[in-house]
Amino acid sequence: MTTSSDHSPSHNVFVYGSFQEPAVAGLILECTPVIVSAQLHGFHRYRLKGRLHPCIAPSETGVINGKVLTGLTDDQLQNLDMVEGTEYERKTVEVVLTDTSQKMQVETYIWANKDDPDMYGEWDFEEWKRLHMEKFIEASKKFIEWKKNPDGRGREEFEKFVHEDPPVA
């Protein structure tokens, strides 16, 4: 018989951007997690000037539709932390599961600079899938290469993928 101390704690993480796409999440987590739909109240999902990924910040009337990646290991959570970098803060929030209306405590990534002038509008997942998903799948592969060889150039290569190409003059 195994006791709970034999297992590392599992983490549930609310995602609202590119990690909603199972192909991207699977690459970064190096497995396919169980994903459930959920809503996060009290936040707004913004576009970020010059970037292909969104951020969230507190907003009294905001509601964000997203997904919960369930049962993540400490290593998988560390992968997410590495991808999100220092511009996001991982916080515990409460979401409502879409199918059951059950409330659940999860972790999510909130934009550290809530007054960032680069935040604007509303980020659109369907538009992202159409225009940028393939680029993010490539970026995710670069991230895993970098993680396996941190002395290589992978982090810079990964960073290039998540920024918009500058307009051609």
Please tell me the pTM assigned to this model: 0.86
**Identity of the residue numbered 85:** G
How would you write the pLDDT of the chain (169 residues) with one tens digit per residue? 443 444 567 999 999 999 999 999 999 999 988 999 999 999 999 999 999 899 999 999 999 999 999 999 999 999 999 999 899 999 999 999 999 999 999 999 999 998 999 999 999 999 999 999 999 999 889 888 888 877 755 555 566 666 665 444 4
Domain that holds residue 52: 9-124
Which residue is associated with the tokens 């995602």? Answer: 15
- Among candidate residues 84, 89, 94, 127, the one labeled active-site is 84
Q: In the prediction, which pLDDT does 155 show? A: 52
End-to-end CA distance of the chain: 66
21 is catalytic: no
Q: In the prediction, which pLDDT does 159 show? A: 63
Q: Under DSSP, is residue 145 helix (H, G, I), strand (E, B) or coil? A: helix
- Number of independent structural domains in the chain: 1
Span 110-146, pLDDT tens digits: 999 989 999 999 999 999 999 999 999 998 898 888 8
Q: Identify which of 65, 73, 63, 59 has the alpha carbon closest to the alpha carbon of residue 28.
A: 73
- Give a yes or no: residue 26 inside a domain: yes
Q: Under DSSP, is residue 148 helix (H, G, I), strand (E, B) or coil? A: helix
Q: In the prediction, which pLDDT does 158 show? A: 60
- Give a yes or no: residue 92 inside a domain: yes
Half-sphere exposure of 25 (CA within 13 A, CB side): 21
- Give a yes or no: residue 57 inside a domain: yes
How far is it, in rounded angstroms, from Cα 125 to Cα 53?
9
**Identity of the residue numbered 71:** G
CATH number for position 117: 3.10.490.10
- Give a yes or no: residue 129 inside a domain: no
- Give a yes or no: residue 31 inside a domain: yes
